[in-house]
Structure 1
Amino acid sequence: MTSELDLIRPDWPAPDRVRAASTTRLGGVSQPPWHSLNLGTHVRDNPQYVTENRARLASELSLESAAFGWLSQVHGTDLVTSPVDGIPEADASTTTQAGQVCAILTADCLPVLLCDRAGTQVAAAHAGWRGLCAGILEQVVASFTAPSAEIIAWLGPAIGPAHFEVGQEVRDAFMAVDARAAEAFSVSGARPGHFMADIYSLARQRLEKAGVSAVYGGDLCTVSDPQRFYSYRRDGQTGRMATLVWLEP
């Protein structure tokens, strides 16, 4: 088991004071089936291991543990402005304060980071299919003081289109909001009445409709890389990775 954190640094043209990272499962102390850098407190892992893992992450990023704005994610559309007291039920956070970290936990759902080109505001969103369909990304874009044309986004590791099989009801839900969503679904060859969904394409569509055309990332599949990523759909009981964004002073 490696002791080094394997961090993904988003490849996007963010301003210098915008910092971002996405963790993998490597570099922590958790034991199977959460091995090893599990950052989720809600997945029945040993709390002491999670505390150590979070401390390692904070140290790696030269941040204080108190800077991380962890959320209790519920697949909804609520957004909070960081910093907040406690651990609010929300699926997105935003901040204009330097040193405050917007953090999202995932293990197949899509993490989305956003910032404005001036480097004055950042945000992170947990975009599972329910939240994505209900408008979580539109909520985040609307929270920016900058016009949407001045916002850029990065799509982090998530379940890829070759593995995200969904029922007719999921396709219908997206189609009811935007008929273009049909482009992100293909008929599943495995089960009649099911479709393969491209959550990256769906997110790009929703961001574009909200006025954000500068979208990066969207090429890391959690299911197909068990050595590097947690995947709830693949493994069931598993850990959680974090996708983070913050402003430097």
Structure 2
Amino acid sequence: MITSVKNEKIKGLKKLHQRKYRKQMNAFLVEGEHLIEEALTSDWEVKELIVSEEVAVPDMAKHLPVTEVTKQVFKELSFTASPQGMMAVVEIKKEEAVNGEVVVLLDAVQDPGNAGTIIRTADAAGADGIILGSGCVDLYNDKVIRATQGSIFHLPIIHADLEEKLLRLKEADYRVWATALEKAENYKDLPIPQKTALIFGNEGAGVKESLLEKADERVTIPILGKAESLNVSIAAGVLLYYLKN
């Protein structure tokens, strides 16, 4: 059992709280039994388990290497105020091709709750993959992972230059829909394309102009009350369910 926060292994695990070290080590931390179960039942590789002294290793994880630590040490590693006492190191998977009927593109979505909720919603609505452009929050940020509720392990998510990717998607006969507040059509007035690339933009600035110019349609969700706009993750839910159902 590891009893000191100054232990070299603990220092190494703590580094995984930072984006640059996650990239260097090609790994990230997942905390809590539910998310660990989602990782274990996916095709992602779970490398090891870290458990607090009072927590039993679940049966499905007993094949993994286990590091046991004191409550104090686990609290040092935890991302939450009330730790569940279990986390796993997961290897970052090689990116897969994204294709299918509906592909989601995120342009500089920076809030981890929004990014994670869009991933979860895309999974629930049956989208076929997600492409993260520059300026987006790190996919392996703990708040993003928790907001996905495990959906990070369910569908392909890649990083790419959105302008280049849009050209390729259009060559593959996707219709590009970009969300916008101005010069946009009500989404309900548009026929559902056979294949759609759906762009959501930054919480404050929206989709950048260079991407809007490449879109086949600028779409908007009507605001019926006095709100200025919809949260980007709510907008994603409305449009994804329209396209997939």
* TM bin (shorter chain): under 0.3
Query: TM-score, normalised to structure 2's length?
Result: 0.26
Larger radius of gyration: 2
Report the structure, 1 or 2, having the larger strand content: 1
Query: TM-score, normalised to structure 1's length?
Result: 0.25
Report the structure, 1 or 2, having the larger helix content: 2
